Amino acid sequence: MSAREFTCVVCPNGCSIVVEVDDDETPVVAKVRGNVCKRGEEWARQEVENPLRTIASSVSVSGGDFPLASVRTTRPIPLGKIRDVMETIRQVTLAAPVEIGDVVLVSPAGCDTEVIATRGVGSASRDVRRAAKAKGGMKE
């Protein structure tokens, strides 16, 4: 039996929750204390048994007015899968134009989530736009 301490992040109360765990290898929650509400207990159990995280990164964009499009998972993924999902995201190059919400990956590394673009990238190349601006020809 071991105890793990968490600061609950469900609401601003920020309860200090202590979770007593049967076995650290495949953790089984024996007891949760310190939480004020039921949501805190559920969150603490999840944190011990299978913590889930949303992750964000960026992918390269070719032919865009910006070199990168930021992306994120639409649903939280298991903490232990983050590195695999990051590796999958790293392989991606998008072609401009990119719209916010465009689906970049489906089920990366077998996770039940999509990866979507969170920034739009237009088609015009930056150099072209800069040249146009220098001539005063293009309005932003």
Binding site for other proteins (CB under 8 A): 6-9, 12-15, 36, 51, 53-58, 60, 66-68, 70-72, 79, 82-83, 86, 100, 118-120, 133, 136, 140
Q: Which residues of 27-51 are buried (b: 16+ CB within 10 A; e: fewer)?
A: bebeebebbeeeebbebbbebbeee
**Do the beta carbons of residue 56 and residue 72 sit within 8 Å?**
yes
Q: CB-wise, 31 or 90, nearer to other proteins?
A: 90
CB neighbour class for 8 (10 Å; exposed up to 12, middle 13-18, buried from 19):
buried
Q: Considering the complex, what minimum distance in angstroms separates the CB of residue 13 from other proteins? A: 4
Q: CB-wise, 20 or 78, nearer to other proteins?
A: 78
Q: CB-wise, 31 or 133, nearer to other proteins?
A: 133
**CA dist., res. 39 & res. 20, Å (int):** 17
Q: Considering the complex, what minimum distance in angstroms separates the CB of residue 7 from other proteins? A: 4
Q: Considering the complex, what minimum distance in angstroms separates the CB of residue 20 from other proteins? A: 18
**Cα 15 off chain centre by:** 24
Q: CB-wise, 40 or 106, nearer to other proteins?
A: 40
